[in-house]
Every structure is written in structure tokens, then in C-alpha cells.
Amino acid sequence: MANPHGTPIWYELITADPEAAQRFYESAIGWTIDARPMAGMDYRLIVAENGENAGGVMRLDDRMKAGGAGPAWLFYIGVDDVDATVEKAGTAGAGVIMPPWTIDGIGRMALLHDPQGIPFYVMRGDSAEDSTAFDRTGLGKCNWNELTTDDQRGALDFYGEVFGWTYPDKMPMGETGDYIFIDAAGQTIGAIMQRPADAPPANWRFYFRSPDVEGAAEKVKAGGGAVHIGPVEVPGGDRIIVISDPEGVNVGIVGPGK
């Protein structure tokens, strides 16, 4: 795929119970998730309303648990050269969780963590088509990538150095400091903020679009999840909720304002 270096290209839910996750997210967001895993591995594609792929669901197995993995949402950042990016990220303070490997027909990838310990993938895909998993307004797609970190300055420097991100604008947030917007290859993909003392652990949070945030909030609660913030309007007129799914994984849902 020819997505520009430093842009998000894929989203992945790691879960101990893919069937339960399927029921929860299909109801809350309106996705269609494969009922059966792909051949050779328990990996199920997430499909948005327009029929395009929005991400995947991977079963958390015993081997992954033994390595310290738990339920989580992760994303893949597209890069021009995986091996060169891993080396550059290491020089900038990243750690390698899984060194580069290749899946035939899929691409080359690696799992890293930034200097604050927050995980993410880097990947160069083999597909001739660009990924559309990130779409600022796409229904069922990730519309926003938000990093909450205990070292905002360090994160800005790290991601800027490794992925070429720039930070052309910001929004004051009182005692929390500035909400600093991320420009990746000419498009705004999200923001980086300092973690408030009473907030969940530092991590990337992804906001997926639903046609009805209020309805999504009720479905989250009915499905065994919890709504922690919202529905609340955000700049630009959209409304969001911040939730945790039944396994406690934090994620956001965004939709049109009233």
C-alpha cells in the first residue's frame, strides 16, 4: 500500500473472547465482524457499513498472555521501511516488543513501544490498494487518534522524529495543558495530551464513528460495557463518548452532533 509514511493504516482489537467482542461492537458501533476466524489463525476482519475494512479482531491466546499481553486496542502506523523505522525508533528511545516479521501477501511489520511504554505497530503493507481504515469522517472508521501520555513533550519529540509528525495547532485545556493536534503527511489525524492525574493509564485511544452516539451509549451499557465520558460535544460539532468494553478496554465513539 502507498499510504504516506507516518499515517495510521490499521486498527486491531486484541481480546480473549472474539465472539463476545463481536456481539458488543456490532451492536455499539454497527460493524460487521467475521463470525469465523481466517484460516490458520484466529483473526477476524471488521467491516464498516460501506463494505470497507475498518480493522481486525485477534484472539488473545496463552502464548500472548505469557508474553505480558492483555486485551487492548492497538494501531498500525504505515512506514516506508519497517526495518529502518525500527532502528530509528530505537535510537529515539523506543523499545521492541516484537522485531520485524513478514506475512506473505500481507506485509512486513513490527510491534514497538514508545519511550513512555505505550505500544504501537509499524507496517508496510503488500496490498496495491491504500488502506482506508482511518477516515476523518467515515462511518465505522477510526476518525481520531488520541495519545494521552505522562510525558507530552517527550512524546511530541519522539513521534515527530520517527514519523515526521508536525504539530501546527493546539487547544488550551486549563490545568491539563494544551491539546496538541497531529499533522501526518498533510492531514490532521488526532492529538497528543498530557494525562490528567485522575485519568486512565497513558495510552492511545481511538474514536470510531457511529451514526448515533446517544444510541451507542445505551447499547454499550446494555452490552456490559461502561460509559465514562459523555455524550459531550467537541469542537467541530461532533459528539463523543469514552467507554470501556466488557473486558475493560478503553475506546471512543464519535458521531454527529444534535
Write out the E strands in 35-169: 43-47, 53-59, 72-78, 95-103, 107-113, 119-125, 142-149
Q: In residues, how long is the chain? A: 258
The C-alpha atoms of residue 117 and residue 98 are separated, in whole angstroms, by 14
Q: Tell me, what's the pLDDT at 128?
A: 82
The C-alpha atoms of residue 105 and residue 107 are separated, in whole angstroms, by 6
Query: Does residue 231 have a cis bond before it (omega within 30 degrees)?
Result: yes
Tell me the helix, strand and coil percentages in the chain, rounded to 5: 20, 40, 40
Class for domain 8-125, per CATH?
A: alpha beta
* CATH 3.10.180.10 corresponds to the domain 142-255: yes
Secondary structure element (H or E) that encloses residue 32, with its range: strand 32-33
Q: Tell me, what's the pLDDT at 1?
A: 66
Q: Tell me, what's the pLDDT at 38?
A: 65
Does residue 3 or residue 63 have the better pLDDT? 3
102-152 pLDDT, tens digit per residue, is 999 899 999 999 999 999 999 999 988 899 999 999 999 999 999 999 999
Q: Tell me, what's the pLDDT at 64?
A: 81
The C-alpha atoms of residue 4 and residue 184 are separated, in whole angstroms, by 8
The C-alpha atoms of residue 51 and residue 47 are separated, in whole angstroms, by 6
List C-alpha distances in Å: 107 to 124, 129, 205: 6, 13, 24
Q: Tell me, what's the pLDDT at 34?
A: 86
Please check the confidence at residue 40 and state whether its pLDDT lies above 80.
Answer: no
Does residue 106 or residue 220 have the better pLDDT? 220
Cβ(86)–Cβ(104) below 8 Å? no
Please check the confidence at residue 88 and state whether its pLDDT lies above 70.
Answer: yes
Cβ(220)–Cβ(214) below 8 Å? no
156-202 pLDDT, tens digit per residue, is 999 999 999 999 999 999 888 999 999 999 999 999 999 998 888 99
Identical fold between 8-125 and 142-255: yes
Domains in the chain: boundaries:
8-125, 142-255
Q: Tell me, what's the pLDDT at 248?
A: 96
Reading the block at residue 188, the C-alpha cell is 490532521
Give residue 41's pLDDT band: very low, low, confident or very high (50, 70, 90). confident
Amino acid at 167: Y
